[in-house]
Amino acid sequence: MTSILGYALLGLLAREPCSGYDLSRKMQKPISFFWRARHSQIYPELAKLEAQSLVTYTVVEQQDQPDKKVYTITSAGEDALRKWVSTPMDVSMLRDELILRAYSLWLASPDEARQLFLTHAQLHSEQLNMYEAVLQEMLAESHIQQVDSPQFGSYAVLMLGIGYERMYSEWCYWVAQQLEHGVTK
Nearer to DNA, 23 or 172 (CB): 23
Using DSSP, state whether 38 is helix, strand or coil.
Answer: coil
Site string for DNA, 85-124 (x = CB under 7 A): --------x-x-----------------------------
- Sorted by sequence, the CB contacts under 8 Å of residue 96 that are 6+ apart come out as none
CA distance 176 to 34: 26
CA distance 164 to 156: 12
Q: How far is the CB of 3 from DNA (least distance, A)?
A: 3
Interacting stretch for DNA, rule CB under 7 A, among 3-11, 122-130, 148-156, 166-174?
A: 3-11
Residue 166 touches DNA, criterion: CB under 7 A: no
Residue 136 touches DNA, criterion: CB under 7 A: no
Count of residues in the chain: 185
CA distance 120 to 123: 5
Chain centroid to Cα 2, Å, comes to 19
Residue 145 touches DNA, criterion: CB under 7 A: no
Q: Binding residues for DNA, per CB under 7 A?
A: 3-5, 19-22, 24-25, 36-41, 43-44, 46-47, 62-69, 93, 95
